[in-house]
Amino acid sequence: MVMKLLSRLLIIFLFVAILGIVIAYARGYRFDFQNKGFSSTGIIAITSVPKTSKIYLNDHLKGVTDANLTLAPGKYKIEIKKEGFTSWLKNVNLKGELVVNLDVLLYQINPSLSPLTNLGVIKAVPLQDDNKVVVFTEEGIYLFETARRPLSFFPPLKTLVKKELFPEDLDFSKVEVLISPDQKQAIVDNYLILLEEENQSILDLSLSKESKQTLISAWEEQKRENFLKILETYPADLAKIASDSFKVISFSPTETKVLYQSKTDISLPPMITPPLIVTNQTPENRSLKKGGYYIYDKKEDKNYEISNTSSIFWYFDSRHLVVEEDRKISIVDYDNSNRQAVYSGPFEANFFTTTSDGKIIVLANLNPEGNKLPDLYLVGIR
């Protein structure tokens, strides 16, 4: 009887011991043979596009993506490389029992270039919310849909307005174009046009009871209301500060991050207390300066200063920004790190946009001696 009891106690003890080892292992503890005991570890989980990119840990090759690196707590330099692609670098401060996730995008060093139009484009205006481009040519105004391209070599354009409907002296290269918040209308100089169907006539706002400025003011108010509606999904304290001190420029496609300009010097208080344990480790900046540009991430309650604000907009994945600088197009992480030049070929500096699958559309003239006007080209960077 005593032996059976001892056997049961031994089984229970072994079960508890094994369970404790399993739990400790799952939480990142490993046996340290040098110190003859268990010590905590952390995990750096690395995924990348493209896959099977090389992982360098403190300049030493540690394998390829996708991979989980179980390491002792400490500071590490992680670099991701692949032949024919840009490289990626980040410093990580790893703590025991925690997992740091790194999602890496690399871009082709030699991108492909494919023509999208052959009409000669005078002006192009992107509709960022709809993957569409309003194209001005000598024949009229067209709509190009970046997300729906048929198999023909030159995708057909949807006619919006024929040039003959405008005054003969109207120069498309000099017109001001304003897009309505719902992306359904546009003001071209003083003329109102529809963006969802071909216009059989156009409204001259200079002759209308509803003045151009009245319509623009209504659009601005609608845009402001749309921004405030999205801000309501952010922490209440931030929404109040934003309404008073932010000039909202744009939200990320997922609406989890906001690009804004500070209208005053102000300190941004913590919005999530206690703060999250595992977050982006890039140092943030919560001391806002008047006129400065920043990005706030509502999921992690992090705020980052953006150094370049000329020709800047969100990449399709909401984790990167696309910027034009020094006659080249670069993609940078939303925390202003890992700026990678992805295209430095010819393009008109007043236009570029991205597609829903991460490619870039530029306006370029590859043969200025033979062509008077540029055309749209697709830049394959992934």
Residue 72 lies in a domain: yes
**What is the tens place of the pLDDT at every residue in 222-252?**
999 999 899 999 998 998 898 889 999 999 9
Domain that holds residue 40: 2-105
Read off the DSSP letter of residue 264. S
- Rounded CA gap, 216 and 220, in Å? 6
The pLDDT score that the predictor gives to residue 97 is 79
Burial track 154-177 (b if 16+ CB lie within 10 A, e otherwise): ebebeebbeeeebeeeeebeebeb
Taken as a whole, the chain contains a residue count of 382
- List of E strands, 2-58: 29-32, 37-40, 42-49, 54-57
CB atoms within 10 A of CB 186: 20
**What is the tens place of the pLDDT at every residue in 173-200?**
999 999 999 999 999 999 999 999 999 9
CB atoms within 10 A of CB 302: 24
Do the Cβ atoms of 242 and 257 come closer than 8 Å? no
The pLDDT score that the predictor gives to residue 80 is 95
Do the Cβ atoms of 44 and 100 come closer than 8 Å? yes
For the chain, residues with pLDDT lower than 70 are 1-39, 129-130, 147-156, 209-210, 308-309
The pLDDT score that the predictor gives to residue 33 is 47
Greatest distance between any 2 Cα atoms in the chain: 109
Domain count, the chain: 1
- Rounded CA gap, 226 and 204, in Å? 27
Residue 48 lies in a domain: yes
Residue 46 lies in a domain: yes
- Rounded CA gap, 133 and 325, in Å? 22
First vs last C-alpha separation in the chain:
72
Residue 341 lies in a domain: no
Instruction: Identify the CATH number of the domain in which residue 82 sits.
Output: 2.60.40
- Rounded CA gap, 191 and 181, in Å? 17
The pLDDT score that the predictor gives to residue 151 is 44
The pLDDT score that the predictor gives to residue 294 is 96
